[in-house]
């Protein structure tokens, strides 16, 4: 049985919603659950909401990393935080996967320095599952602001392995986020990356993808630097929210529109679902030697439960050893070419 290390501090709704989410996961998915956080707070929150803590292990962590903390605090000043303790337990083998809603920068830094990266991978990356039909893995979604074509090639390989193993896509189509379809488009980074991606036989490269094609089933893995990835992701989030607000206003206009809203209730709920993305769980940190999942800072119980489900699936899969083998093969081929 997998042992899931659950950081119940950090994020906007800690600890209550995260404990609720962990409890819901425990009811649904067979695993060993280790909650990490301020023990008194955890027990108090659980008591108030009548959440039974039997069957959970609790590991006390005296401090919390906040959104304002510098990313390096996880290995410097806040080594007794829930995040640092969880990552150390994962590194030392006291757990099989770690889930956290905390500070993304700190989690990425901590995962890289404490859990360490997969041998042969130059830079780990954060994948984000875009709530499309079918889902698209955006990699990198914000961790690596400056990248090289070689990083992007590895992101493509890691992203493909993830979509194959976790989402069952047989031969994931990899696209390069760019400002046009032609191979001459973009900055030096995109032009060089295009060459690497299109000449790698292990990558099912489908070419450059413009922002408006991301939503039109153009690829399964969308490769980019963390800066552009963040712009894309946040713009989608913003437009999704704008859509929901606009619809809400539309339906509240008058008695007729309110009646129409009643007729459409089922359909509206499904739109809400498809635009919010919490169904899909969290963002996997790829290239880290053990499974680390970043849940959205605003996660409520359901989203957090889904992130835990994803951590279990990640841990059950052979993804990390796949990525290790793929990185080794890539590096050996590169060596042979030079």
Residues in contact with a second copy, shown as a per-residue x/- string from 213 to 232 under the rule CB under 8 A: xxxx---------xxx-xxx
At CA 318, angle to CA 312 and CA 320, rounded to 5? Answer: 90
Binding a second copy (rule: CB under 8 A), the pick from 62, 92, 116, 146 is: 146
233 binds a second copy (CB under 8 A): yes
Question: Of the candidates 244, 314, 305, 255, which has an alpha carbon nearest to the alpha carbon of residue 278?
Answer: 305
* Near a second copy in 164-183, by CB under 8 A: 177, 179-180
| Position 142 contacts a second copy (CB under 8 A) | yes
Cβ–Cβ under 8 Å, residues 156 and 195 = no
To the nearest whole angstrom, how small is the minimum distance from the Cβ of residue 59 to a second copy?
Answer: 31
CA angle 44/85/309 to nearest 5° reads 75
Q: How far is CA 219 from CA 78, 141, 197, in A?
A: 40, 16, 14
3-state secondary structure of 64: coil
- By CB under 8 A, the count of residues binding a second copy is 48
Per CB under 8 A, 235 contacts a second copy? yes
Nearest of 290, 282, 314, 309 to residue 162 by alpha carbon: 314
Query: In angstroms, rounded to a whole number, what is the distance separating the alpha carbons of residues 196 and 167?
Result: 25
- Distance in Å, CB of 235 to a second copy, minimum: 4
Which one among 210, 316, 317, 324 touches a second copy, defined by CB under 8 A? 210
CB of 76 to a second copy, least distance (A): 17
Give the residues lining the site for a second copy (CB under 8 A).
142, 145-146, 177, 179-180, 186-187, 210-216, 226-228, 230-243, 246-247, 250-251, 253, 256-257, 259-261, 263-264, 267-268, 271, 274
């Amino acid at each position: 049985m997998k042992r899931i290390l659950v950081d119940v501090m950090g994020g906007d709704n800690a600890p209550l919603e995260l404990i609720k989410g962990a409890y819901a996961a425990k009811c649904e998915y067979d695993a060993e659950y280790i909650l990490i956080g301020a023990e008194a707070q955890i027990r108090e929150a659980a008591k108030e909401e009548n959440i039974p803590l039997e069957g959970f292990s609790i590991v006390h962590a005296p401090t919390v990393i906040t959104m304002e903390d510098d990313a390096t605090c996880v290995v410097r000043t806040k080594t007794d935080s829930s995040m640092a303790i969880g990552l150390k337990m994962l590194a030392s083998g006291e757990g099989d996967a770690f889930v956290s809603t905390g500070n993304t920068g700190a989690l990425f830094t901590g995962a890289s320095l404490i859990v360490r990266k997969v041998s042969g991978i130059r830079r780990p990356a954060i994948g984000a599952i875009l709530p499309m039909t079918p889902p698209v893995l955006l990699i990198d979604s914000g961790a690596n602001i400056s990248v090289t074509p070689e990083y992007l090639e590895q992101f493509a390989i890691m992203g493909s392995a993830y979509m194959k193993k976790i989402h069952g896509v047989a031969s994931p189509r990899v696209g390069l986020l760019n400002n046009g379809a032609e191979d001459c488009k973009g900055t030096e980074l995109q032009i060089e990356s295009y060459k690497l991606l299109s000449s790698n036989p292990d990558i099912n490269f489908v070419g450059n993808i413009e922002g408006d094609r991301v939503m039109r089933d153009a690829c399964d893995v969308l490769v980019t630097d963390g800066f552009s990835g963040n712009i894309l992701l946040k713009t989608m989030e913003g437009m999704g929210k704008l859509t929901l607000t606009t619809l809400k206003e539309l339906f509240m206009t008058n008695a007729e529109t309110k009646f129409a809203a009643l007729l459409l209730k089922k359909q509206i709920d499904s739109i809400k679902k498809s635009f919010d993305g919490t169904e899909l769980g969290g963002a996997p940190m790829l290239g880290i030697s053990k499974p680390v999942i970043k849940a959205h800072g605003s996660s409520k119980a359901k989203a957090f439960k889904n992130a835990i489900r994803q951590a279990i699936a990640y841990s059950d899969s052979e993804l990390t050893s796949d990525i290790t083998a793929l990185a080794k093969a890539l590096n050996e081929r590169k060596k042979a070419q030079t």
